[in-house]
Amino acid sequence: MNGAANWIWKGGSIALLAYVIIRGFSTPLQPGFVSATPSQLTIGKQTIALQAVGQPFAAVDADPGEFTLVLRSGEQLLRTGINELTPHSVVAEVGIPATMPSRALDAFLFTPRAGTLFLGNAAFVEEAAKGDIPPSFRAPAPTEHTPQLGFSFPYQPNIMESIRNLLWHVPMWFAMFFIMGLGFVASLAQLRTGAIGWDHRAEAAVRTGLVFGLLGLATGSLWARWTWGAWWVSDPQLNGALVTVLLYSGYLILRSAMAEDDRVGRMAAVYNVFAFIMLVILLMVLPRYTESLHPGKDGNPGFNSYDLDNSLRAVFYPAVIGWGALCYWMYTLRLRMNRVAHNLLTK
């Protein structure tokens, strides 16, 4: 029965990860604006074109009269007239007045099916003077429609399609935290009892956790290159993650240097307890009190606050469980190897 139960959760973890991979790559992205042309407007009649990515926000034969594009200056709205509409772009004519509350214009496109598309600071009017928009240029507040996009991932500026990496990068770090926590408990038990079995568990946990730590660094670096424009930036969260991986690498170096020493289990346990405490400080405590580019740090909203919607949750939570189960599976395999090696050496 125990063997059957093991294969049930192992098969379940494989099924969850298969679901995550298929859903993660096949789920469409909700539409969102990426650019406006031109970005500098002048007073008078102007033509502005906005380009979107993700799902089409309009059908090929859509009626432009069902769509409304407005530009916002401060809290006031500027009227436009749509000239051309495609599934991923809109071209409109707009009259730019001589006075506006703000020279920066935000764009809002109200659609019947995709809801409201937004582009902040879509264009600037350097010549405009400070003042209210004349009544003849103003637009009334359009009616917003509830999006009807089906199962789709949320669009966020800069992140865009790379939001799919949330299903890999974050669960891998969660899995590392989980398995390093098991190693921490095993090291405490080893220090209390001196039993070699707890040392085997701690060593297996660290080795497995390091695999997921390195994968977390790799996926994080790829994400940083896409969203921040560099493979690595001086960010407390990134630096803390790197230091943590190096600390745990030192655990393995310590064990290999003391392979023939009877004190290796106790010394490695002390080191592992220290490494886990540093992991908590570097990845959970310090980033919350320093400026960080990471979501959820220093006023920067986390994914759960602004774009972890029901569709993304339906894939993200299985990803956390699936990667965690895979990590634990790898841990049990390493633990069996440690036990077999110990039995062979002590015969």
Taking alpha carbons only, the member of 328, 316, 336 closest to residue 9 is 328
Closest-CA residue to 106 (of 91, 118, 93, 94) = 118
Q: Domain locations in the chain?
A: 32-137, 160-345
pLDDT at residue 310 is higher than 90: no
Per-residue confidence at 301, pLDDT binned at 50, 70, 90? Answer: very low
Cα maximum dimension of the chain: 94
pLDDT for 227 equals 83
Residue 247: name the closest of 206, 188, 296 by CA. 206
How does DSSP assign 175-239, residue by residue? HHHHHHHHHHHHHHHHHHH--HHHHHHHHHHHHHHHHHHHHHHHHHHHHHHHHTSSS----HHHH
Average pLDDT over residues 27-32: 93
pLDDT band at 297 (very low <50, low <70, confident <90, very high): low
Please give the residue that has the higher pLDDT: either 261 or 52. 52
Tens digits of per-residue pLDDT, 228-279?
888 888 878 888 889 999 999 999 999 888 776 668 889 999 999 999 999 9
User: In the prediction, which pLDDT does 345 show?
Assistant: 75
Find where tokens 């960010």 sit: 235
CA angle centred on 213, ends 212 and 218, rounded to 5°: 95
Q: What is the pLDDT of residues 113-138, one digit of tens each?
A: 998 999 999 999 988 889 999 999 99
Taking the complete model, does pTM exceed 0.75, yes or no?
yes
- ∠ CA 297-118-53, nearest 5°, is 95
Computed from CA positions of residues 174, 177, 180, 182, in that sequence, does the dihedral angle turn out positive or negative?
A: negative
Report how far residue 150's alpha carbon sits from residue 200's, in angstroms, rounded to the nearest whole number. Answer: 49
More confident position, 193 or 346: 193
Helices 264-280 and 196-227, axial angle in degrees (round to 10): 30
| pLDDT tens digits along 198-232 | 999 999 999 999 999 999 999 998 888 888 888 88
In this prediction, what percent of the chain has a pLDDT beyond 90?
60
Specify the CATH superfamily of domain 32-137. Answer: Immunoglobulins (2.60.40.10)
- Stretch 187-195: mean pLDDT, rounded? 92
| pLDDT given at position 156 | 85
pLDDT at site 299? 41
| 34-57 mean pLDDT | 93
